[in-house]
């Protein structure tokens, strides 16, 4: 029986956050200091993650994305990736990273079976990159991209969360990465989660119009590509596609296929809500696979119908139920 929720949505994709820690401090994701880290003994071990993933696979999870915090700060990540990849029924294991440590680990990740990597870079302006990440060096992230492109079979995406309204030049430079290179550049709308509430970004229409003025009329993709909610276009002569993910202005809740596993082992069924189930508690209380399966299935069944982030135009909060208050780094973006 496939894993479905009460609204008939099939859940087959799980984002697994392996740590809440990060080597950067992006302004919309974490405060500059005073971040209380989850104690090590409360973070799932590799054995626990593998067990949950195996149970998930038995229920119908076929794809996993490793994320964080910064997943590459967790020691031995390629080993975990290989273990997840070997689970029966697991078709894809991918990674989302800020890319700054990627060049040192890419070979091991690829030999462990990594199917794709998303690298987050919000601007190609060095100074702005430093301001946004507070501590990062753009060159390190770009070296990560180049290292990933050195593996021809690997699916590489660059994720950009634009923050300013008038940064057309930045968007054009960012999109141009996909002109010569076989990678996707995706513009992701900022979400009012944690410190992200203090920021807002441009609408996708504004970005698209700016890119159209620079590159010409784009070919639209109407069919869904990949695991996620991006809408894609391709500009003339481009090797790669440009995607837009706009959870607030263009919600995709009706086709949501995902759940999240937090570093502490909470199976979270919607980014905005605290709803889900504490799998670590069950595991550490000695639950057998059947009990964990039941909890997994129940949590998925009760997945909220839709997020209710405040409407950007009316600024009206429309929340119901128990809302998430943590930063994205703690949840696993
Ligand atoms: N550290 C890794 C990275 O930066 O890719 C993985 C974790 S990070 C939380 C995953 C993604 O979430 C990044 O692309 C980041 O830009 C995005 N993100 C963080 N806070 C966000 C927010 N408030 N709204 C939209 N995206 C956000
Ligand atoms: Fe770290 Fe990623 Fe959050 Fe930036 S977006 S602070 S790199 S977890």
The pLDDT tens digits for 29-60 are 999 888 899 999 999 999 999 999 999 999 99
**Closest ligand 2 atom to 29 CA:** 3
- Determine which residue's CA is closest to atom 4 belonging to ligand 1: 98
Q: Which ligand is nearest to the CA of 121?
A: 1
Whether ligand 1 lies within 6 angstroms of the CB of 190 is answered as yes
Q: Which ligand has an atom closest to residue 158 CA?
A: 1
β-partners of residue 266 are 278
* 4 falls within a domain: no
For residue 325, tell me if it sits in a domain: yes
Q: Ligand 2 pocket: which of 99, 163, 329 to mutate (most atoms <8 Å of CB)?
A: 329
Distance of CA 18 to the CA centre of its chain: 12
Q: With a 6 A CB cut-off, is 161 part of the ligand 1 pocket?
A: yes
Whether the pLDDT of residue 136 is over 60: the answer is: yes
Look at residue 180 and tell me whether its pLDDT is greater than 60: yes
- At 146, the pLDDT band (50, 70, 90 cuts) reads very high
Query: What is the strand order of the sheet 155-160 is part of?
Result: 219-220, 231-234, 242-245, 184-188, 155-160, 116-120, 92-97, 63-67, 13-17, 258-261, 266-268, 276-278
Given a cut of 60, whether residue 320 has pLDDT beyond it is: no
The pLDDT score that the predictor gives to residue 315 is 46
> Mean pLDDT, the chain, as a whole number?
91
Number of H helices, E strands in the chain: 11, 12
Q: In which band, very low, low, confident or very high, does the pLDDT at 154 lie, cut at 50, 70 and 90?
A: very high
Measured in Å, residue 333 CA sits from the centre of ligand 1 at 5
The percentage of residues in the chain with a pLDDT greater than 90, rounded to a whole number, is 75
Q: Is 253 exposed, middle or buried (0-12, 13-18, 19+ CB in 10 A)?
A: middle
Q: Is 3 part of any domain? A: no
If one residue of 25, 28, 29 were mutated to test the ligand 2 pocket, choosing by the most ligand atoms within 8 A of its CB, it would be 29
1 part of a folded domain: no
pLDDT on residue 243: 96
Which atom of ligand 2 is nearest the CA belonging to 96?
2
DSSP 62-82: -EEEEESS-GGGSTTHHHHHH
pLDDT on residue 34: 87
- Residue 175 within any structural domain of the chain: yes
Using CB distances shorter than 6 Å, the residues near ligand 2 are 22, 24-26, 29-30, 68-70, 98, 120, 328-329
Pick the most confident of 102-116, 196-210, 240-254. 102-116
For residue 255, tell me if it sits in a domain.
Answer: yes
Q: How confident is the model at residue 239 (pLDDT cuts 50, 70, 90)?
A: very high
pLDDT at 323: 64
Mean pLDDT of 167-181: 96
Give the model's confidence band at 273: pLDDT under 50 very low, under 70 low, under 90 confident, else very high.
confident
Q: Determine the pLDDT at residue 278.
A: 97
Please state the rounded mean pLDDT for residues 259-277. 92
Instruction: Tell me if 161 is assigned to some domain.
Output: yes
Q: Separation of 326 CA from ligand 2 center, angstroms?
A: 13
Domain count along the chain: 1
- The parent domain of residue 110 ranges over 13-331
CATH number for 187 = 3.20.20.70
């Amino acid at each position: 029986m496939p894993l479905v929720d009460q609204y008939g949505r099939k859940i087959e994709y799980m984002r697994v956050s392996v740590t809440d820690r990060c080597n950067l401090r992006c302004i919309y994701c974490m405060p500059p200091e005073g971040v209380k880290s989850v104690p090590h003994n409360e973070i799932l071990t590799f054995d626990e993650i593998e067990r949950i993933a195996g149970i998930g696979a038995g229920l119908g999870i076929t794809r996993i994305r490793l994320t964080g915090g910064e997943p590459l700060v967790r020691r031995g990540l390629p080993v975990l990736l290989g273990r997840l990849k070997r689970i029966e029924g697991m078709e894809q294991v991918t990674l989302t990273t800020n890319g700054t440590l990627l060049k040192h680990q890419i070979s091991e990740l690829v030999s462990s079976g990594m199917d794709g990597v998303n690298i987050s870079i919000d601007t190609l302006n060095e100074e702005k990159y430093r301001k946004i990440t507070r501590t990062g060096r753009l060159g390190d992230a770009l070296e990560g991209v180049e290292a990933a492109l050195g593996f021809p079979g690997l699916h590489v995406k660059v994720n950009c969360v634009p923050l300013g309204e008038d940064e057309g030049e930045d968007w054009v430079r960012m999109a141009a990465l996909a002109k010569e290179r076989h990678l996707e550049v995706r513009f992701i709308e900022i979400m009012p989660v944690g410190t992200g509430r203090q920021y807002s970004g441009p609408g996708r229409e504004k970005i698209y119009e700016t890119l159209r003025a620079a590159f010409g009329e784009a070919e639209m993709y109407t069919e869904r590509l990949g695991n996620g909610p991006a809408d894609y276009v391709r500009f003339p002569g481009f090797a790669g596609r440009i995607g837009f993910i706009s959870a607030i202005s263009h919600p995709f809740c009706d086709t949501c296929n995902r759940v999240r596993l937090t570093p502490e082992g909470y199976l979270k069924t919607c980014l905005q809500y605290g709803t889900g189930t504490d799998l670590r508690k069950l595991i550490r209380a000695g639950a057998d696979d059947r009990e964990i399966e039941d909890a997994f299935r129940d949590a998925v069944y009760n997945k909220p119908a839709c997020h209710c982030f405040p409407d950007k135009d009316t600024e009206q909060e429309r929340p119901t139920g128990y809302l998430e208050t943590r930063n994205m780094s703690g949840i696993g973006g």
